[in-house]
C-alpha cells in the first residue's frame, strides 16, 4: 500500500494545499493524472472543488479528473493511476462514496498498490470507520464503515484544548469515550501540519508536531517523527 494521509489541507495564513504540496509531489512522483473524489464539498460545487485542487496540483504537473463527471465513478476509480480524496464533511463524503460503491473499489486499488492521498475527511475515510471525525452528521450514510485500508482510527485537526470560556468536552475526552466503547482500536490524534506516510510496509509521521496515541488500557502518550509506529498495525 502507498498512503499519504494529511491532517489538514491548509495551515493558518497559507494558501490551499501549500504546506503538503512538496510531500504530495514526492509521493506521486511519476504520476500524470489523479482521480479525485470531491464529495466532502457541501457549500460549494464539486466542479469548483475539482478546479481548486487542479490549480494546486498543476504546479507539480498532475492533471485532476473528478469522479462526479463520470457515468460510472467506480469504473473511473478502477482505472485510476492514483486517487485523491479531499476534505470537507465526512458524513457527506461517506454517504456518496457508499452509494457509488467507491469504498470497495478504492480499497481494492489501494491493496493493488495504487497511491492514495487524502486530507482531513479524506484521511478519515481511509480508516475502518468514520467514528473519529470532528464533523457534524449533516447527512446519514448507510453506516459508519469506511475504506478500512488501515486498522487504526485517525482524528485529524487534533487539538489539545478547548477555546477559552468553552465548558464542553475536550477532543481528548471525546476520543477517550471512543476507546472506552471500542477497546481494541488504536486512535491517533494527528495535529495540523502533520502527515502520515505509509509505503514499503512502513508508517512514518511527517511534521513538526508530535502525534497523540490513544487505546484503552494503554497510557495516552505522544510519538514524534522518526518513532516506530508499527504497533498501530497490531490488534
Question: Which residues participate in catalysis according to the annotation?
Answer: 120, 135, 157
Q: How far is CA 96 from the centre of its chain?
A: 16
For cell 489541507, what's the residue? 9
In sequence order, what are the residues at sequence separation of 6 or more whose Cβ sits closer than 8 angstroms to the Cβ of residue 38? 46, 49, 50, 53, 66, 67, 68, 86
Longest dimension (CA), the chain: 50
For cell 484544548, what's the residue? 161
Q: DSSP letter at 79? A: T
Report helix angle 102-111 to 90-99, nearest 10.
Answer: 90
- The Cα 37–Cα 84 span in angstroms is 6
- Nearest C-alpha neighbor of 222 from the set 157, 132, 160: 160
Amino acid at each position: 500500500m502507498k498512503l499519504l494521509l494529511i491532517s489538514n489541507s491548509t495551515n493558518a495564513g497559507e494558501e490551499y494545499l501549500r504546506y503538503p504540496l512538496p510531500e504530495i509531489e514526492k509521493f506521486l512522483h511519476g504520476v500524470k493524472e489523479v482521480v479525485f473524489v470531491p464529495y466532502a464539498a457541501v457549500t460549494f460545487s464539486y466542479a469548483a472543488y475539482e478546479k481548486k485542487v487542479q490549480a494546486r496540483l498543476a504546479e507539480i504537473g498532475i492533471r485532476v479528473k473528478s469522479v462526479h463527471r463520470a457515468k460510472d465513478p467506480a469504473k473511473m476509480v478502477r482505472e485510476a493511476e492514483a486517487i485523491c480524496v479531499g476534505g470537507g464533511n465526512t458524513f457527506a463524503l461517506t454517504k456518496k462514496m457508499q452509494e457509488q460503491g467507491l469504498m470497495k473499489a478504492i480499497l481494492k486499488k489501494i491493496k493493488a498498490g495504487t497511491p492514495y492521498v487524502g486530507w482531513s475527511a479524506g484521511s478519515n475515510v481511509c480508516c475502518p470507520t468514520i467514528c473519529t471525525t470532528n464533523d457534524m452528521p449533516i447527512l446519514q450514510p448507510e453506516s459508519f464503515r469506511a475504506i478500512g485500508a488501515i486498522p487504526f482510527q485517525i482524528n485529524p485537526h487534533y487539538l489539545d484544548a478547548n477555546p477559552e470560556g468553552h465548558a464542553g468536552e475536550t477532543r481528548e475526552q471525546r476520543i477517550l469515550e471512543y476507546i472506552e466503547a471500542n477497546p481494541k482500536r488504536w486512535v491517533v490524534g494527528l495535529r495540523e501540519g502533520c502527515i502520515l506516510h505509509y509505503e514499503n510496509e512502513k508508517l512514518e509521521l511527517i511534521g513538526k508536531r508530535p502525534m497523540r496515541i490513544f487505546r484503552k488500557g494503554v497510557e495516552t502518550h505522544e510519538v514524534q517523527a522518526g518513532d516506530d509506529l508499527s504497533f498501530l498495525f497490531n490488534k
